[in-house]
Structure 1
């Protein structure tokens, strides 16, 4: 575990609801909706990692194993590559300062004195070292057994260079935001320097773009997301979730598979 002190930033991102959805085909088409039933639990696993950190590959391998085992369960893995390791010998091509800010916001929400890699946060409520398999499995079991608070429905349409997403929620409380993450499912990097120099690292569920939308009383609206370079419908998905901007708790989540047009 590599602790690195970083000042906490303020951010906004949100609460309330369960999941359901339907979206997009990789060709332009009319949006369709597929609302998932309320009641079952869900789990959002956020891994904060870096290619420059020698302690991170075991955590990357762990979430890859969990992804394979729990593919048909409402377990949504998001790998955020932070940027504060970039100055220490290797620049992570997937890193983004916004992801470091998000991790610092969790430090504020969870009353931590510092952030570190690899770190996992589950449903915005529990954090621990990202390579602790038993702790992660227990947190997933607990999350799947916890009743969801409401519903989230998404539909989307592919446009030229962007995606138009429509959303509907029920029972939305105050201080909540909808977060939409464009995720690249797999990638490999030949790391040439830094702590992992000389190794080929494999990654899963890499967040390539994260966009937030504050929710109003209606709980309904639309947002446009610009597609990042390298987007490929066969190897990407969209994960949506609702988070409380005061506590960090996540109470609804769903994902959409671009390759199949199926919401889970």
Structure 2
């Protein structure tokens, strides 16, 4: 994490809150079943933190959207960054890996700083994470754009604390496959910091990222470590193909874990 970016992120909190409040008042069309998507998809990456007082509205927004898009190729990933931890509360879901990913987007998108809450859609557009109208419009437009890459995650096997995943993709040039282990929901009672005394709810929490070099191979098998006490009903996998040069996400999918250990499942 570059120190200048952290400073700007903290200094801009007041402005972020004002902008977020303005955008959440926008009346936008909800993503109902009446809206017919094309052959596209939308990967929504939220950068958030339990130590940021401006973040709960963004967490609530993606939770609302998640409930509306169960029948659509919309994939939500919530990354808890770690640079807020020094200000009084350590976010248990945070990781320097997610802060580094946000900094990579700052480079790809030519941003002067990182901030929370921030949303990036399909690796191409970014905005304040609580801007409801902007998010809904981005999802709607990207669902109408055909995906450039095919991707499937299947033959998932769980054995103890390890999952084995088979992947198949149609595009490999200058791209990497990223697979995220996602906890569907969780709550935290925050004791200190800007959200001290609040109980926060989260959805689609990224707990592990696996970057897979495709190396001109269109299919393969990878292993993921699973947390202690793993319950397959509370977790899922989201995979996407990303251009290494500019960050564009060209294809995505998700897969559920088999309900019975050592069984197989396909997306």
Q: TM-score range by the shorter chain?
A: 0.7 to 0.9
Q: Highest relative contact order (Cα 8 Å, sep 6+), 1 or 2?
A: 1
CA displacement 1:220-250 (0-9 Å, x = unmatched): 2211111123421111100011101111000
Residue 174 of structure 2 is aligned to residue 165 of structure 1: no
Question: For 1:252-263, what aligned pairs fall within 5 Å after superposition?
Answer: 252-258=251-257
Name the counterpart of 2:150: 151
Q: TM-score by structure 2 length?
A: 0.82
Q: TM-score by structure 1 length?
A: 0.83
What is the deviation of 1:170? 1.3
Aligned length: 230
For residue 116 of structure 1, give the secondary structure of its aligned residue in structure 2. Answer: coil
Unaligned residue ranges in structure 2 (runs of 5+): 8-37
What is the deviation of 1:161? 1.2
Question: For 1:96-245, what aligned pairs fall within 5 Å after superposition?
Answer: 96-155=95-154, 156-173=156-173, 175-245=174-244
Q: What value does the CA root-mean-square deviation take over the aligned residues?
A: 1.8
Name the counterpart of 1:32: none
| 2:158–2:258 contact (8 Å) kept in structure 1 | no
Structure 1: how far apart are the matches of 2:198 and 2:75? 27
Name the counterpart of 1:13: none
Unaligned residue ranges in structure 1 (runs of 5+): 8-38
What is the deviation of 1:100? 0.4
| 2:52–2:194 contact (8 Å) kept in structure 1 | yes
Structure 2: how far apart are the matches of 1:194 and 1:153? 41
What is the deviation of 1:160? 2.5
Bigger helix share: 2
Mean alpha-carbon deviation: is it higher for 212-221 or for 85-94? 212-221
| 2:149–2:241 contact (8 Å) kept in structure 1 | no
Structure 1: how far apart are the matches of 2:54 and 2:237? 28
| 2:238–2:255 contact (8 Å) kept in structure 1 | yes
Name the counterpart of 1:66: 65
Cα gap change, 1:144 to 1:4, in 2 (>3 Å): farther
